[in-house]
Amino acid sequence: MNIVIIGAGVAGLSIGWRLLQAGANVTILERAQPGGGATWASAGMIALAAELETSPPAEVSFAYQSNDLWPSFAAELEEVSGHPIGFARSGALLLGNDGAMLASRATADPALTFLTAEDVRGRWPMLTGEYSGGLWAPNEAHVDNRALGRALTIAFLKAGGSLKPTEAVVNIFDYQGRIVGVSTPYTRYPADAVLLAAGAWSGQVADVPVTPVKGEMIALTPPPGEDFDFAGPVIWGPDVYLVPRGDGEGGGRLLVGATVEEAGFDTALTKGALATLRARAERVIPRLARWKLDEHWAGLRPASPDGLPLLGPWGDKPGLFVASGQYRNGILFAPAIADLMAQMIQGKAEPIAAFDPRRFNKDKTS
């Protein structure tokens, strides 16, 4: 079976890797560089409690399933690629100013423990900022997303995949009623199945309802001699998250994110976002005012109209699949999407109804 995947982000690479393991021939065509889009720009969070609070049950259950897959996915990937990816089950601390709401969430969810402000400061003395309590979520994790992109690229190539960077797909073509390949400015690639996994750019390749949502982020480093636990938890404060990046490349930094803005494909860095992110972070950890700005960047999240991913067949001709619209959860969902989509493309699994891209086909014809 010959598969062409459009997009070498965390989704395209991990699905391609699983398809190679299943015996398929896989070519990935990437408009820029592998792992260089939202995979590179994200904070690498494997976040359940903070980002899924308003999600429907199907998304919550998929998130829990993927979170459970992460430790073995990370171990397998590190072993195959020989490249550490910094997976850390560090837990997350969600700070807030509505103590009653925090306590009721902890009552409703046995995975969460309510902490008073005094409990929080007792455990994490640097958190001297403004909050009235917190939730401790021990099952949350994070991964070095930039290392993840590189490791997946290595694993994909080692498994025999073909990867074509800087080669954008300009057409998906069909013959006798089914999709039979894609073309780029250089050549045609015949395929038994084509998977569109181009993140925020998916809607530019085919008529899928996926649009970019910009996020600006910064990374801070401590002044010389300042003690900070970079193995500590991810911290969520009002409108901000703080991700400690420990060992390895890019270690010893605190990532601060992120803005959420519909700005098309604009990834310009703004002074306003920088000031806002710093101010929000300092409200949680005031001493961050003395930390140095190490990096400021922006990325584009792939968003669908209902906020849920598109995972399954697309269009009126068989042979085209889409894995996109992960929005804020591309890293979290990666292992579950890899397994589900690899199975589906081989005809061994059906889409999950809530994520079936054809829910948007119906809207168009009704």
Of 215, 232, 302, 325, the residue at the interface with ligand GLY (CB under 6 A) is: 215
Of 35, 328, 335, 345, the residue at the interface with ligand GLY (CB under 6 A) is: 328
Please give the size of the binding site for ligand GLY, defined by CB under 6 A: 9
Residue with token string 């996020």? 215
Residues 33 to 52 in contact with ligand GLY, rule: CB under 6 A: 42-43, 45, 51
- Cis check for the bond before 275: say yes or no (omega within 30 of 0): no
State both tokens at 237.
Answer: 């404060």
Give the residue with the Cβ less far from ligand GLY, 177 or 264. Answer: 264
**Site mask for ligand GLY (CB under 6 A), range 164-203, x = bound:** ----------------------------------------
Residues 75 to 134 in contact with ligand GLY, rule: CB under 6 A: none
196, 324 contact by CB (below 8 A): yes
Quick check: 322 binds ligand GLY (CB under 6 A)? Answer: no
Give the residue with the Cβ less far from ligand GLY, 45 or 288. Answer: 45
Quick check: 280 binds ligand GLY (CB under 6 A)? Answer: no
Of 147, 258, 285, 342, the residue at the interface with ligand GLY (CB under 6 A) is: 258
Quick check: 9 binds ligand GLY (CB under 6 A)? Answer: no
Quick check: 301 binds ligand GLY (CB under 6 A)? Answer: yes
- Phi/psi for 173 (5° steps) reads -115, 155
Give the residue with the Cβ less far from ligand GLY, 22 or 263. Answer: 263
96, 104 contact by CB (below 8 A): no
Give the residue with the Cβ less far from ligand GLY, 179 or 200. Answer: 200
Q: How far is the CB of 295 from ligand GLY (least distance, A)?
A: 16
Quick check: 237 binds ligand GLY (CB under 6 A)? Answer: no
**Can you give the binding site for ligand GLY, defined by CB under 6 A?**
42-43, 45, 51, 215, 257-258, 301, 328
